[in-house]
């Protein structure tokens, strides 16, 4: 537990206090940046897999360049039709993405800059015209050592995977995959809740409990459309009420709701073809109120829903806002959302997750998060100092620990 008053200045030393304040304010930026850099993150939502999951564990240059964020940008700048693109091999696709977005255009978007930052982190020249040297570099890596290096470069301790037991490719791998404490599991419910299945609520509850224990899942999770409504009538709500929420209670784990995705608005471009929409968050209100013994991790995809999510978090302690998801993981959005959350919730939220799909992406995603959070936190402490309370390095360390680690640990234990 942090004690924020242990270093409070006494009133009799007003002059000294003022001098301290000035020094601290001048140093604040440096101290905040240092604390952010040295605090190891728990990355609470990714699509990464432990190496034991074989070909599901994606890494390396071809996967980095065929990330769906980059594919969405490719189709805007190259005269190729989606069906022609999908007919190419993965290395041909990566070659085309590199040529289009990195050679013929300046890589200034968030996703393209991210790929540059990854190459740079490995000391590679970022201006090669072809992928040959990058391919040679990644081919020479030994995966276990490479993972250790990537986690170090990203400043992360562990990541949470996305594990759907109804995924036919993934589920058999749980028989053989060696557990790796750096990769924790989250039981994903998308197929169960968003597709047609024949599970009765009783069957579903038993199925979920068996799989959650098998995976040692730290939470259950589902992505939901902008049209999501929690009512007593539809099948999804019935499964939530009678299977998912009781299973979470029995296992004492939270449910993560990621709300606001409009899947397949352009199916031709596959994963890149999902969009976002504003949701009605009254369902969150109902869930938090009607199920006080459940805990909810919530991320919303629409910018317009962010403020009301903070309002609901002020009403319900069993609601933990997390992350700036997907189209919001850009500096301008992260800055705005994090400032709003700090102002409304103090440090009682989880500022970010990476959503990385390719191992090395954690390097740029966490670097960018730290870079954006640094001035936001610095300004927060500057305002506090102006209002009469200056902070110490230990205070800042406590806050960043909460944001990057302990809010998640406490909420999931
Ligand atoms: O549903 C999700 O977990 C989303 O994050 C993904 O489906 C999405 O494709 C993504 O990668 C976003 O960053
Ligand atoms: Zn995701």
pLDDT along the chain (413 residues), means of 10: 69 60 74 98 98 97 99 98 98 99 98 98 98 98 97 98 98 95 98 95 98 98 98 92 98 98 98 98 98 98 98 98 98 98 99 98 98 98 97 97 98 97
If we measure between CA atoms, which residue out of 88, 153, 87, 144 comes closest to residue 119? Answer: 153
The answer, yes or no, to whether any atom of ligand 1 lies below 6 A from the CB of 71, is no
Q: What is the pLDDT of residue 78?
A: 98
How is 354-369 classified by DSSP, letter by letter? Answer: ---SSTTHHHHHHHHH
Token pair in block for residue 235:
């099948």
Rounded to the nearest angstrom, the distance between the alpha carbon of 272 and the centre of ligand 2 is: 13
| Nearest bound ligand to the CA of residue 258 | 1
Q: What is the pLDDT of residue 17?
A: 63
Q: Whose alpha carbon is nearest atom 8 of ligand 1?
A: 326
Token pair in block for residue 397:
């360390």
Q: What is residue 398's three-state secondary structure?
A: helix
Q: Kindly report whether the global pTM for this prediction surpasses the value 0.75.
A: yes
Looking from the CA of residue 162, the nearest atom of ligand 1 is 3
For a pocket test of ligand 1, which of 43, 47, 277 has the largest count of ligand atoms closer than 8 A to its C-beta?
47
For a pocket test of ligand 1, which of 355, 356, 361, 368 has the largest count of ligand atoms closer than 8 A to its C-beta?
355
| Nearest bound ligand to the CA of residue 221 | 1
Distance CA 279, CA 281 (A): 6
Rounded to the nearest angstrom, the distance between the alpha carbon of 258 and the centre of ligand 2 is: 8
Rounded to the nearest angstrom, the distance between the alpha carbon of 305 and the centre of ligand 1 is: 18
Rounded to the nearest angstrom, the distance between the alpha carbon of 168 and the centre of ligand 2 is: 19
Looking from the CA of residue 45, the nearest atom of ligand 1 is 3
Distance CA 397, CA 347 (A): 12
Q: What is the pLDDT of residue 16?
A: 61
Q: How many CB atoms lie within 10 A of CB 227?
A: 11
Q: What is the pLDDT of residue 3?
A: 83
Q: What is the pLDDT of residue 98?
A: 99
């Amino acid at each position: 537990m942090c004690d924020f008053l242990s270093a409070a200045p006494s009133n009799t030393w007003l002059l000294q206090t003022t001098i301290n304040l000035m020094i601290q304010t001048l140093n604040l930026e440096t101290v905040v940046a240092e604390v952010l850099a040295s605090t190891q993150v728990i990355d609470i939502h990714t699509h990464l897999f432990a190496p034991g999951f074989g070909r599901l564990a994606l890494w390396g240059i071809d996967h980095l360049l065929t990330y769906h964020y980059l594919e969405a940008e490719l189709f805007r700048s190259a005269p190729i039709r989606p069906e022609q693109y999908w007919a190419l091999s993965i290395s041909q696709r990566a070659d085309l993405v590199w040529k289009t977005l990195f050679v013929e255009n300046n890589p200034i978007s968030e996703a393209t800059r991210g790929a540059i930052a990854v190459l740079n982190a490995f000391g590679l020249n970022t201006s090669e015209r072809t992928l040959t040297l990058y391919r040679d570099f990644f081919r020479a890596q030994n995966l276990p050592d490479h993972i250790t290096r990537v986690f170090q470069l990203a400043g992360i301790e562990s990541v949470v995977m996305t594990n759907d037991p109804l995924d036919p490719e993934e589920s058999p791998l749980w028989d053989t995959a060696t557990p790796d404490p750096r990769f924790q599991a989250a039981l994903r419910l998308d197929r169960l809740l968003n597709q047609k299945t024949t599970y009765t609520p009783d069957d579903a509850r038993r199925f979920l409990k068996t799989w959650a224990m098998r995976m040692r899942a730290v939470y259950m999770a589902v992505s939901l459309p902008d049209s999501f409504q929690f009512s007593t009538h539809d099948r999804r709500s019935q499964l939530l009420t009678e299977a998912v929420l009781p299973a979470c209670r029995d296992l004492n784990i939270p449910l993560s709701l990621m709300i606001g995705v409009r899947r397949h608005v352009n199916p031709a471009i596959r994963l890149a073809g999902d969009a976002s929409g504003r949701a009605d968050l009254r369902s969150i209100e109902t869930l938090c109120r009607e199920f006080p013994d459940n805990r909810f991790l919530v991320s919303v995809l629409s910018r317009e829903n962010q403020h009301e999510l903070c309002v609901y978090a002020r009403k319900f302690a069993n609601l933990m806002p997390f992350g700036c998801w997907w189209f919001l993981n850009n500096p301008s959005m992260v800055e705005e959302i994090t400032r709003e959350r700090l102002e409304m919730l103090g440090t009682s939220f989880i500022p970010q997750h990476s959503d990385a799909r390719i191992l090395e992406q954690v390097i740029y995603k966490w670097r960018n998060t730290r870079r954006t959070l640094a001035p936001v936190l610095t300004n927060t402490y500057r305002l506090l100092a102006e209002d009469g309370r200056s902070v110490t390095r230990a205070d800042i360390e406590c806050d960043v620990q909460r944001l990057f680690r302990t809010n998640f640990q406490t909420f999931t234990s």
